[in-house]
Each structure stands twice: as structure tokens, then as C-alpha cells.
Structure 1
């Protein structure tokens, strides 16, 4: 066939041609057609003269039946030998795959193809460039000379002298360079003598060098480089640094992608003044309801503290020593289910070797803030403070029935560092362990067909400890309430009866606790009354919203305001019962008498905003419309309590006069704009002592420039009958992440003790985001340690960063 554009010849195998020419007449007709075609297209059966138009042929491999379309400036076919040759802009295409070059020679029977000059192939979602190439299209093998592989999944380029294609996506290569950077002199690269790779998996390189701007800085006999965007097993970039307390340090992580739901990271660290440390992090996410995070760090510390005179400055006033070389910290969270999704399981582990490990090794992957914030963000539960002298681990199994009933089985173990590592003797440890506790709950629900609502809590617990009373406790608290609603508000009176029974099995201390069986009854009642008065105000609708036009897209204004006032009164009374002879295991064994009323007034302001948006109608023309959004932009709360028992108190009046009125709380939550927030809590004494507590935070957020929050906290010293010996605190906290010019990101956490004029924490991280890598420098300083660390993130592995969300330092 011939037209004014392209010559198209469909070449079929001889067997296929004869199948279409079965009869003698048809054979004669076919032979005539072939002869005419040869006359019309001279050179088809032998050498062809150059043509000014491109020629396209469809070639089919007899072994795979795969059709390839060959297009070139000039095509020559030798049917007898089964060879097709093409010159000039030659392209062989099948579906999305194609091979191109200045010259192509295709062997039809074997499916072998030879390409030379400006070779380019797009093969299974990756690109191949070479001076020369050979491919076996049947077995998916081949060879490249001076080849380049661009693997989009891993954003990696592999350039080598010789490539052997050993399978569909596998290669071996010699004298090669791997990089993820652009340019003739890349920012980083890996140079290797030999290697092999699997596209979408890994490249293994041998006798390799890591180069920065063409200069070798690291030699490795073997390296494994990931070639895909998702997580892959391999060594992660190391971290280098120095600490005034720990000396120079180095951390080398290794990441193991176990499967799609699980991975493990192993850390090999070295601290110049303390020795080697090892760490593990295991993560799992089996399904939407099951996930876990486990971390452990261990070091055989060169330094011990056998007496108080050897104690570091930070810990010299603790009164504790540390005689152990073996130091560790195990922490984890796990949420999941067993047998059935209604059987939920939660596990919290927080177990350390001594009282100073968390503060001493507050670096790298052992950093307290990293674990605290990861646990809080992923599981909604944190861990004990960094300087706590006790750490508690808990296991909890829960079974629920339709949101009305639940049952828990809990065990808790608390370690107390006061009785470990050469401090007080362990047999004098009074720390209570819960082994176990069985609890049952009936959530608030209607009592039969009556207007009453009922709820109940109950628990059966066994407590044990080395020194002091151990034993069992059964506690039950049913509560009855009566919701009463009217057009003017609601009142909910309530009453409860707590019955607690004890069985003390031993008491090896000199306490006043009576052994044997005891019980306690506590009656309580109260009421809550609340209402709401609101008004809606029309701020007027401008013409732009009444008749929206496409030219006014983005026009936005407030059109309405809602103001709500919510008064509330809560009253609580609890019976006064003598409890000194009862065992004391936790806070529920000493429930104080109560006779108090709390009253509050809340103001809520909500705005209605109209914005002109533009969509397209069925004909593709602009179709303007008005969209409305709502925001609670201001909340004002005023609250105070009055204690009737304090008003009637007759003890210690000479030292502590009666003060039944509590501080007045004024709380403001203000969100005027998308990028601005202001929160404030102010407690003011009604007895002329001014502000006793002040917490204020201003937050700024912009998706382009980052985020910044500035907080100020002030506690006044208080010595009252109900609040004795509270220390004064004046603390400034700054947290920020700023996106700077030149691809820089600045992260900072800064805490300053204004009262004592002491910086508590200074963390500053600066990251430069280059085209193919990130470089992060991190500086951290406290009163007792200063450190700096540096790491490079390449091949898609992200920098650790600095946590911005939680104050992790205890002021005590």
C-alpha cells in the first residue's frame, strides 16, 4: 500500500502466507500479487533505495506471537534470512515499550535485536540509553555498551561501561556509577568496579567508593542501594556528632523491611567517653486496629557512680548513686485485638535500668522527645516524664458489649529507682504492683422504662509489694441520675454509693493499717445545671455575594454572627469517712470529703463567611456560586469554685486563714484567622494576691513559611491550707519550623527559666534540601550537656528532624 504519507507493509511468516493461499488458483493469484508488489516497490526482496518518507512494518515473533511496529527512514527486509534492517530514526514499538536507535537489525525467527547509535529504550517503566545494545525479546536478556539506566521508582541513574541483561528486570554491570543527582558532576555518587541490580528492588555494588562532587570520601567492599521509592532493606545514612558529656559519637542504622506490615531498624552507636551502644526499633501494622512500636537501647557504660561525690553535676542533688554498668531503656506501645475485634489489647512498656539513663543518653534514636511524641501521636498515650524516679509498664485487655458494658483485665508493674543500683535496699521497697485487676463497667443508660439513668463501675484487684501491706480490694460504685430538661435549661441530679472491701494478707512495716478484712462505705450526691442563650446576627450580604460573578472569584466576607452564652453550675458532696486504718494502695483508698460548688459562664462566638467560588457547567463555561463556612473563632470562659468545708474549717486557723473561694479562671481561645491562634489561661486570687497562674500561647501557621508558637507560663509561690508549698515557675517556650529561602528549613525548640535566668533546653536544626539529598546540622544544649550532630539523607530516607509538639522537660 502506498499513499502520500507513510509506506506500511505488514510482513507475515511464510506459513501464514501459504495458509491464505490453499488452492492452486489462489496460489497463482497470490504469486501475481507478490510479483506486482515487487515491481511497485523495488528493492523489497533485496537492497532498497533510500526513501524520503518513513516506512512502517509490523513484525511478529513466531515464538511469542508478540507484534512489534517498526518505523524508520529506510527499511530493508530479507525474507529468506528473516532479517529486517532499519536506518534513520528507527523505532520498534509494542504497547508502551519501545526501542530506538540510528540503526536497528531485527532477527525475526530468534527475536534478537541489535541497535547502534543513540540507543534509547523504554522498558517496563524504566529508561535505557546506550551507544550499542542487543536484546533477546523472547528471553528478555541482552547487552549494553556504554549504557545508562534511569530507574524512576528510586530516582536513580546507573551509568556503566558494560551491562549484561540477565532477565526481564535484572542486570550485571562493570565500571559503573550510581547517583540520584543531576549534572555532569553530581553532588554525590557511588563508583563501583562490578555490580548487579534488580529494577524495583536493589543494586548490589562491590569494591565501591562514595564520592562527593567527584572526590572519594568513603570506601566500601560492598554496598546495597535501594531502587524503589518505598521502604527497602539496607543501611541508612549514618549520623556523626559530639557531646560534652558523652564525647564524639557515631550512629549507623540498618533497616530491614520484613514485609509490608513490619520492619526493624538496628542501630550500632559509639560514644567516645562511654563505649558502644546498640539499639532496636520494631514497627508493625497488621491492620487498621493493630499496630505496635517497640524500642530498646543498651550500653555497657564505662562510667559508674559508686558514691555521691562522683555524681555528675546534673544529678548531684538527687541523693542517689548508680553502680550499674549495664544500662538500658525498653519502651513500647501496642494496640491490637485477640480472637475477635471486640477483645482489645493495649500494652505499654516503660522499663529502664536506672534513674539517669534517659537524661544521659538524650541523643539520636534514644532521644526522649522522639519516643514520647511518637507514642502520643500514634497511640494517644505518653510515658512518664524524663526525670521520673518511677516508670510504669501496663498490660490491658478489654471486652465490650454493644457500647453498654465492658470488662477489663489489667496488670501494672512500677519500678522505683530509689531502691535500685546501690541505693536503698530492695526489700524495703513500698512500691505497689497491680497483679492483676479485673474491672467491669456499665456505661450510663436508661434504667428499664423509668426516667432514671444508671451507671456502675466495679473492680477486683490484688496488690503486692516488697515492704508494706499487700492484699486484695473489691470496689463497686453504682450511680443513679435523673436528667430533667426544660426550655430554659437542664438539671441532672445524681447520687452514688461506693462499697469497698479489703483483705490485707501481710504487713511487714510499722504502719497503722489493720490486718484482716475491712470495708468502707461512701455516699455521694451532686447535681449539674446548665443552659444556653444564643442570638444570630445578620451582618449584611454585599452585592458580590448576592449576584456572584466569575470575575469576583475569591471575594470573601463575613455575613453572619452567632453569640451563645452557656451558664453552668456543678455541685458535689462526698461523705467524710475515717480511712487511716485501711490499706493504701492508690488514690482510691483515700477519698477525701467534698462539699463544693463550681460555677462558670462561657461565651461562644461563631462567624459565617461567604466566598465566591467558580465551577464549570455542563458546557464547560464558568458557573460562579457562593460557598459558606463556619468557625468558632472565640471562646471565653469564666469559672470559680466555693468550698463549703473550707468555709467551716476550724483547724490551723492561725497559720492558714479560711479561703473557701477558689481562684477565678479566665480562659480565652481565639482563632481569628487561619494562620493565627491565641490561647490564654489566667488564674486570679480573690484574696488580693493577684495572678497566681498564667499560661499564654500565640501560634502562627502558614503552609508556605512554616509554623511558630511562643508560650509563657508563670506559677506564683502559694502556701495555703489546700495548696501548700507550691514553687514559683516562670518559663518561656518557643517552638518553630520555618521554611527559609535557598531550600533551607530551620527547626527550633527553646525553653528558658526566667525566674532563675537559666536556659533549660536549646535545640536548633538546620536542613538544606538539595535536589538529591538533605543535609542536617543539629545543635542541642542543656545546663549540663552540649552536643552537635550532622547527618545526610539520600536515596529517599528522611532526616530525623526535631519534635515540635511536646514539652518534655520536667521543671522539678
Structure 2
């Protein structure tokens, strides 16, 4: 026969609210005597009965319904209440108070102090932590206690461990002696952390460990005399995971970052980098954030580079944004390096080694209703003298773009003043203004949109006897299209047919004497077919008398509206020679552009394809093309194929893949080849091993440097411990950047 009791503390003792015997109804006693009187009246025990709840099961006991707040629930095979306020419980003992639950073979409970002593197969759960031990002393009122030789498990994670002694103090601090931790399953301690002592402070949300070691299969591989870690998602000062990498130019690269949580709204990360061939490089990264401003400052410093004549080298990057009002803000962005070879020597990718200039800008912008005004100061640190850009000192813009239109007409006005400066070319002032209007007529099946635009530019060149140049040109255009759709026979797909015609006219005006500050030719694309100007910037306005035609068809899922496949074809037709050109170009006399093809769609549930092609209809050849095929199935098998060709000077093919080899092993790689010059551009190979509680990755990379003659090598190694962090270089991030779909 099982014994049950609800106990609730009152001012001078407790009240037994109810007792229940198995198979009987609930008896409300309603006693409210002192502890001595109540126990004298209820000095009873229950006969032994079969155990119905094993305390070794890691399962919380359901809290009885109607249990008053702060009440203590007790259940046991046998129970004896003594006059001095002590309860002796024997056999499958269960004690519950709020979120704290205890199960044991034997237990004593002190009514006055709520002190519990338990022995034999003790299972204890509180605040998401489960513990198994042979002996426990715990106070339910103060949540303090101690246990010996305990195994613990976090309820919400796979984290578990053991400790020779666990003591919880009244201030919320928990102390563990000779403790271990792992996320591996039982009997599989592939890795584990061991510490002489651990202190967990819930109030400061901080944990500290002393004499900490990381063990792989019981073999120590890393030792830290002191380690501090957060007990919540809040930031905390301390060392972060170190990283390891290697490349040809710097050798072995070991990084040890330290994070300093200076305040809730600003922090600093200091990283010491040991470069075996160059020396010690110091990185600092400061960030701050407030209601009206935010920013970041990065400064990297390498004193006495062994590979650069022992010269000091540095890089800095400053980002700052200040919100002046609801509609106005200031921004500052400045980058700089010590020398032109910095990214070539210390960059970690082909992209960084190809940087030719570094931008520095200071800007102000304000918006009110439909108006906006901005001011910009822009300069560059030139790393390649063949690519010197113009500085803007300053650039002022005033724009009017009304959100609401009157009578359906969309009006716009844009104006700009800029002073351009360049050490190797003429400085000059440029003032531009542009006014435009357009209106759309149509419905869901057809539309026509006439538009008109007037563009003015005025130049004054400081180094050419203050020569002035003025230009005013109108542009008119007419855009039109139809929309047809039909339901296919299976009823699952809808096919659309969307023809489009766009006409643009801008009269010719001689512009060869106009400087080129920020203009360049636009690369032909499908969207460019419908642009009013084939030049970027404001220094050139195309003499356009052309017609664009295109046809698009789409296949869409009728139920979801998702686009399954899309194909477009279009072409430009010129009615006059193009006499406006950039320096180094000549008059274009062709009557039509290349035929532009675009297609994208799902070949099946796992495969998607995108393709573009430019066909020279005069020479009947493909002048440029690109095709990509991406495959990824439910088994995480990935295959990406790519081909890219531009004119006669570039042709390259790319392949990347990732596939599970076994349940634990995954192989990944990529390769890009220059077909024109028959050389490798980049190759990557990576291997990943996954266990139930850790992952290991290693990746190797070889890539062509920007000089187009030499190569650099790099190796990335990363070990990820489940539930903790990863150490080594970020091989996963590197592989995900190289292989589309890799996770």
C-alpha cells in the first residue's frame, strides 16, 4: 500500500492537507494544529507494497493537480512521522516541491526546515538539471545542499558529466569538485572536459573552471589553468576559440582571440596572430552601439614583417553611423593599409588580393516628405596606379521622388553637383539635373507606358583654362507589353506568354570633349535591353534611336504560384549609328545587338538550372555564355557544374561536389579551370568526419594569385565539439563559400 501526503508550511508549522491510500477516495482532513499535535495524532506507517515508480527512470513525476504553491508532496511505500517533526520514508520515495523533484530508496524529511536526506539510487531534478547519486542532503526551502559521487545530465541538451562532490550554496553559487563534462552518449567518451574545480554563479551568469583539460579518449590534448565561460547567451569577457591555418606566404598561422565585454553596448576583440614566416600580428576590433549611433573600428598591426624588409605593416577600417534625427544621419567609412602589397601578402582570398583601391567616405543624408538631400566626401587610397579613381570633394544631391502621383503620372527630379579630383587627370566641376515623368495605362492583360526625361549637365575644368562644357538632352521612351496565360492539360501548371516592346529615342550631341569622371559602358544583359542609356554615370548620354523586343514564357505551379521554369529572349534594334562613345572606343554601326537568352528552372525536385547566352547573329556564333546546374538531394549529395565564356579572351569551367561516403564520412571539393589558357584557377578538397558528439574537417586550397603566374596554398583544419564550440580555422565556413549548397 502506497502512502501519499501534501504538506504546506504555515506560520508556526505545517498543515497536512490530505492523505490518500491506494484504492481509497481522497480524505480532506483540514487539520491546522502545531507540528507536535499533528504528528501525535498521525503517528502512523504504511505496510510494504510493490514499487510502482522506479526512481532510476530519468523521467519527471507528474505534479499532482491542485497542489498549492510552496507545498511539499511526499510519496513512499512506508512512512513514519515522528513527534519531533521528522518524517522517515522508505521504499520508492518521491518528494516534489515546485520544479524540484527527488526520488530515492530511503529519505528523511524535516518538517520545520524542509531539510531532506536521501540515500540509495537517488535521482534529483531541478531547473533543467538531472542528477544521480547515492547520497544527497538538500534543503527545499533554501535550495542548498550537497551530494557525493554524482552523475548529472541537462534535460534540454545532451550535456552530461560527473563530479566527486556538488555543493549548492544559499547565494545561488554551485561548486563542483573533480568534475567532467561531455555531450557524447553514455559509454562513448570520445571527448570530455575535466576540471579540478568549477564554480557556477547564477547571479552573475558566469562559470569558472580551474585546471581544465580537454581529453580525447581519456588522453589530455589541451590544458588551461583557468577558464571562464558564460551561463547564458549574454556576452562575457574571455578567450575565444583559437584557430589554425597555413599558407605559402605566411606559413603556419595560429590565432588566439580575446573578447572584452567592456559594457553592454560596446566591446573589443583582441587577437594575437602567430605567423611562422612573418612574426606576430596583432588585430583589434572595437564595436559600439547606442540609440543614435553605432560603429566599428578595426586595426591590424604587424611590426617588423620578416618577409617585407622588417617594415611595419597595418590595415585599418572605420565604420561610423550617427542618427541626427528621425530623417537624417551621418556616416563615415574609411579604410587604409601601410603599403600596396598588403592584401597580396596578407589577404586570405583571391578577392582580397585583387583589391586595387580603398574607399574613404563621409556622407550626410536627410529626407523630408518626397525630398532628399545628401552630401558626400569620397577619396581613395590607390593600390594600383592603373586604376586610379576620381575623388568626390564634395558631391551634393537633391532629389524629389513623390510617393503619390497625381492623375497616375509618376514625376521625379534629380540634381547633383560634384567636384572631381585626380592626381593624374584634370580636376573638374560637374552640375547635373534630370526631370522625368511617366504614366502607365493598362490592365492585367496589357500595358503601355510613355515616359519623357530631360537631362542637363554643365562642366567646368580647372586645369584646362577653366573650359566650360554644357549639354542638354531629352529622352522619350515607350514601353509596352502583353500578358497571356493558359492552363496546361494536367491542370497543375499555368504557362504564360509575355511579349514586350520598348522604344527609346535620345538625339545625338557631340560629347567627345566632355571628360569622363564616373562613366563606363554597361555590360549587355537581358535587363539592359530596356535601359535608356548604355552608359553608367552621368558623363555620357547615349544617342539612342532603338527598339527592344523580347518574349518571356513562364511555367508556374497553379496551386502555389511557384515558378517552375522561365525562359526569355530579346534583342536591340538600332536605327542609327551610335556616335557617342568613351575614350578608346569608336562609332558603333551595327544595326542590332546580340540575341540575349535567359533561362532558369527546376529540372526535377533536386536539380536547378540557370543559363544565359549572347548570340552574335551577324557572325552566327555565341559571343558569351554562362550555365549553372545545381543538384542537391535529400541525402545531402551535392553536385554543381558551371561554364562561363566571355568573348574570345575568357573561358572557364567549374565543378564542385559534396557527398556522404559513409554514415560518418563526407567528401567535398571544387575545381575551376581556365580553358583558354589551359591552367588551374582554383582547386579545393575537403574531408569531414561526423560522430555523435564531434565533427572534424580538413580542407586544402590552391589558387592563382592576381599576378596570373604564381599560386598560393592554404590548409584549414577544424574540430567541432557538439554543444561547445569549434577550434581551428573555419573549414566549414570556407567550404560553404566554395561549394553552393554545402552546410
Range into which the TM-score falls when normalised by the shorter chain = 0.7 to 0.9
1:529 is paired with a residue of what secondary structure? strand
Residue 651 of structure 2 is aligned with which of 709, 730, 735?
730
8 Å Cα contact 2:313-2:337 kept in structure 1: no
* Cα distance in 1 for residues equivalent to 2:579 and 2:416: 35
Q: Residue 565 and residue 496 in structure 1: after superposition, are their counterparts in 2 closer, same or farther (change >3 A)?
A: closer
8 Å Cα contact 2:543-2:578 kept in structure 1: no
Structure 2 spans left out of the alignment, 5+ residues: 18-30, 54-67, 521-536, 705-710
Bigger drift between 109-118 and 576-585 goes to 576-585
Aligned to 1:788: 715
* Cα distance in 2 for residues equivalent to 1:18 and 1:50: 24
Aligned to 1:723: none
8 Å Cα contact 1:579-1:590 kept in structure 2: no
Q: Residue 55 and residue 573 in structure 1: after superposition, are their counterparts in 2 closer, same or farther (change >3 A)?
A: closer
Could you tell me how far 1:250 is from its partner in structure 2? 1.4
* Cα distance in 2 for residues equivalent to 1:284 and 1:643: 55
Q: Residue 240 and residue 482 in structure 1: after superposition, are their counterparts in 2 closer, same or farther (change >3 A)?
A: closer
Aligned to 1:623: none
Aligned to 1:591: 540
Q: Which runs of structure 2 are paired with 1:442-481 in the superposition (5 Å)?
A: 442-443=400-401, 452-466=409-423, 468-470=425-427, 472-481=429-438
1:360 is paired with a residue of what secondary structure? helix
Which structure has greater helix proportion? 1
Q: Residue 78 and residue 484 in structure 1: after superposition, are their counterparts in 2 closer, same or farther (change >3 A)?
A: closer
Could you tell me how far 1:272 is from its partner in structure 2? 0.7
* Cα distance in 1 for residues equivalent to 2:411 and 2:430: 23
Structure 1 spans left out of the alignment, 5+ residues: 21-28, 57-63, 307-322, 370-384, 508-512, 541-557, 610-627, 718-727
* Cα distance in 1 for residues equivalent to 2:595 and 2:459: 40
* Cα distance in 2 for residues equivalent to 1:575 and 1:737: 55
Could you tell me how far 1:94 is from its partner in structure 2? 1.1
* Cα distance in 1 for residues equivalent to 2:366 and 2:552: 40
8 Å Cα contact 1:154-1:226 kept in structure 2: no
2:593 is paired with a residue of what secondary structure? coil
Residue 328 of structure 2 is aligned with which of 318, 343, 349?
343
Could you tell me how far 1:472 is from its partner in structure 2? 4.0
Aligned to 1:545: none
The answer on 1:757 being equivalent to 2:678 is yes
8 Å Cα contact 1:664-1:683 kept in structure 2: yes
2:343 is paired with a residue of what secondary structure? helix
The answer on 1:708 being equivalent to 2:711 is no
Q: Residue 171 and residue 305 in structure 1: after superposition, are their counterparts in 2 closer, same or farther (change >3 A)?
A: closer
Aligned to 1:191: 194
Q: Residue 604 and residue 36 in structure 1: after superposition, are their counterparts in 2 closer, same or farther (change >3 A)?
A: closer
* Cα distance in 2 for residues equivalent to 1:55 and 1:770: 38
* Cα distance in 2 for residues equivalent to 1:386 and 1:149: 51
Aligned to 1:23: none
Aligned to 1:388: 355
Q: Residue 754 and residue 529 in structure 1: after superposition, are their counterparts in 2 closer, same or farther (change >3 A)?
A: same
**TM-score in terms of structure 1 length:** 0.73
Residue 515 of structure 1 is aligned with which of 461, 466, 469?
466
Could you tell me how far 1:166 is from its partner in structure 2? 1.9
Aligned to 1:437: 395
* Cα distance in 1 for residues equivalent to 2:578 and 2:341: 45
* Cα distance in 2 for residues equivalent to 1:36 and 1:485: 89
The answer on 1:72 being equivalent to 2:57 is no
1:742 is paired with a residue of what secondary structure? coil
Aligned to 1:252: 256
* Cα distance in 2 for residues equivalent to 1:38 and 1:144: 32
Aligned to 2:345: 360
The answer on 1:94 being equivalent to 2:94 is no
* Cα distance in 2 for residues equivalent to 1:593 and 1:415: 32
Listed one character per residue, the Cα deviations across residues 229-255 of structure 1 (whole Å, up to 9, x for unaligned) are: 787654333223332322122122344
* Cα distance in 2 for residues equivalent to 1:36 and 1:359: 86
* Cα distance in 2 for residues equivalent to 1:156 and 1:431: 56
Q: Residue 226 and residue 141 in structure 1: after superposition, are their counterparts in 2 closer, same or farther (change >3 A)?
A: same
* Cα distance in 2 for residues equivalent to 1:535 and 1:90: 73
* Cα distance in 2 for residues equivalent to 1:85 and 1:224: 42
Residue 118 of structure 1 is aligned with which of 116, 121, 129?
121
* Cα distance in 1 for residues equivalent to 2:544 and 2:6: 100
The answer on 1:211 being equivalent to 2:185 is no
Listed one character per residue, the Cα deviations across residues 470-529 of structure 1 (whole Å, up to 9, x for unaligned) are: 45433211123354558985443433333334455x54xxxxx3327x351221313133
Could you tell me how far 1:716 is from its partner in structure 2? 2.5
The answer on 1:136 being equivalent to 2:139 is yes
Listed one character per residue, the Cα deviations across residues 656-678 of structure 1 (whole Å, up to 9, x for unaligned) are: 99433322112222234342221
Listed one character per residue, the Cα deviations across residues 524-559 of structure 1 (whole Å, up to 9, x for unaligned) are: 31313322141413515xxxxxxxxxxxxxxxxx53
Aligned to 1:380: none
Aligned to 2:503: 570
Aligned to 1:531: 481
The answer on 1:162 being equivalent to 2:159 is no
Q: Residue 134 and residue 532 in structure 1: after superposition, are their counterparts in 2 closer, same or farther (change >3 A)?
A: same
Q: Which runs of structure 2 are paired with 1:194-343 in the superposition (5 Å)?
A: 194-198=197-201, 201-228=205-232, 233-255=237-259, 265-281=269-285, 296-300=299-303, 302-303=305-306, 325-328=312-315, 330=317, 338-343=323-328
Aligned to 2:48: 51
The answer on 1:797 being equivalent to 2:725 is yes
Listed one character per residue, the Cα deviations across residues 597-618 of structure 1 (whole Å, up to 9, x for unaligned) are: 1422222132445xxxxxxxxx
2:492 is paired with a residue of what secondary structure? strand
The answer on 1:407 being equivalent to 2:373 is yes
RMSD: 4.3
Could you tell me how far 1:776 is from its partner in structure 2? 1.7
Residue 772 of structure 1 is aligned with which of 658, 682, 693?
693
Residue 699 of structure 1 is aligned with which of 630, 651, 667?
630
The answer on 1:632 being equivalent to 2:563 is yes
* Cα distance in 2 for residues equivalent to 1:30 and 1:524: 97
* Cα distance in 2 for residues equivalent to 1:471 and 1:295: 34
Aligned to 1:621: none
Bigger drift between 586-595 and 180-189 goes to 586-595
2:577 is paired with a residue of what secondary structure? helix
